[in-house]
């Protein structure tokens, strides 16, 4: 009889410990990290709150969010970015590799318009200065002339005004925890000033390299205007994946508790 009571007591202790551990695990999932300022759907000033949340996040992004494996945004490292433009005066395919972006952490959110019922968010983003370095390979036609160039590039952009629209949806994992997933993203941007420089390694000669640099800088506005739709699509794909790496690890209940 004593043996039976002991077995029952042991099984009860194990069951209780298991339930308690599961409860603690669930509670830890919903703990709010210091880099998040929660907002509430019921708040009539939710757009103002979300703006504050994004701006509050900025200093934490400099070192990255190690608990959810989000890398630093300053410098921001991009392994590969492909931009293809098949119409207009600049019909080219540009592949950029080993890209380092400096200045992204100086962003400010100027405006937010959120539809949290449908998981859509519109953002206005201002960046005073962005500097980009990396490797490039370009092929195609510029003003009917064939162009092929490969090497290292450097670019600086000042007074960047960007707009992004995020289209998301709610998903649920096997444990019933809800997350927001970004399905697609649209971006647009306007540049105050820009400067480019390339070091060509294909055409072998400073004359060709300097001619490319002179052409880029003398025609920067036109080049950007022609390439912007293709660049916006490529940037949107990259940053949708980047943002999903965070949104898919932070439950909705953490940043929007009453959702």
Looking at residue 45, what is its pLDDT? 94
Strand partners, 227: none
Residue 49 clears pLDDT 50, i.e. is over it: yes
Residue 257, token pair as written in the block: 């508790």
Whether 5 shows a pLDDT value over 80: the answer reads: no
Residue 182 contacts residue 238 (beta carbons within 8 Å): no
- What's residue 7's pLDDT? 39
In angstroms, rounded to a whole number, what is the distance separating the alpha carbons of residues 76 and 62? 9
Express each pLDDT in 114-126 by its tens digit: 999 999 999 999 9
What average pLDDT does the segment 130-157 reach?
84
Return the pLDDT at 197.
Answer: 84
Three-state secondary structure call for residue 132 = strand
Strands 76-85 and 120-142: unpaired
Instruction: Decide if pLDDT at 234 tops 70.
Output: yes
């Amino acid at each position: 009889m004593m043996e039976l009571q002991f077995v029952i007591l042991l099984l009860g202790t194990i069951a209780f410990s298991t339930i308690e551990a599961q409860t603690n695990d669930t509670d830890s999932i919903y703990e709010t990290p210091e880099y998040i300022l929660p907002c509430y759907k019921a708040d009539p000033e939710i757009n103002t709150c979300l703006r504050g949340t994004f701006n509050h996040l900025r200093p934490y992004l400099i070192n990255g969010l190690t608990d959810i494996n989000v890398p630093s945004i300053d410098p921001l490292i991009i392994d590969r970015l492909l931009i293809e433009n098949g119409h207009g005066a600049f019909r080219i395919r540009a592949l950029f590799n080993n890209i380092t972006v400096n200045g992204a952490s100086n962003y400010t959110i100027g405006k937010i318009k959120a539809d949290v019922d449908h998981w859509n968010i519109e953002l206005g983003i201002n960046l005073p200065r962005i500097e980009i370095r990396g490797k490039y390979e370009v092929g195609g036609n510029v003003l009917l002339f064939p162009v092929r160039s490969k090497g290292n590039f450097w670019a600086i952009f000042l007074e960047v005004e960007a707009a992004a629209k995020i289209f998301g949806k709610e998903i649920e994992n096997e444990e019933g925890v809800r997350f927001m997933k970004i399905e697609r993203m649209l971006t647009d941007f306007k540049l105050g000033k820009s400067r480019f420089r390339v070091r060509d390694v294909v055409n072998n000669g400073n004359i060709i390299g300097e001619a490319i640099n002179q052409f880029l800088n003398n025609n920067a506005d036109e080049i950007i205007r022609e390439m912007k739709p293709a660049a916006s699509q490529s940037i949107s794909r990259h940053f949708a994946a980047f943002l999903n790496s965070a949104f898919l690890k932070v439950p909705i209940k953490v940043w929007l508790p009453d959702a």
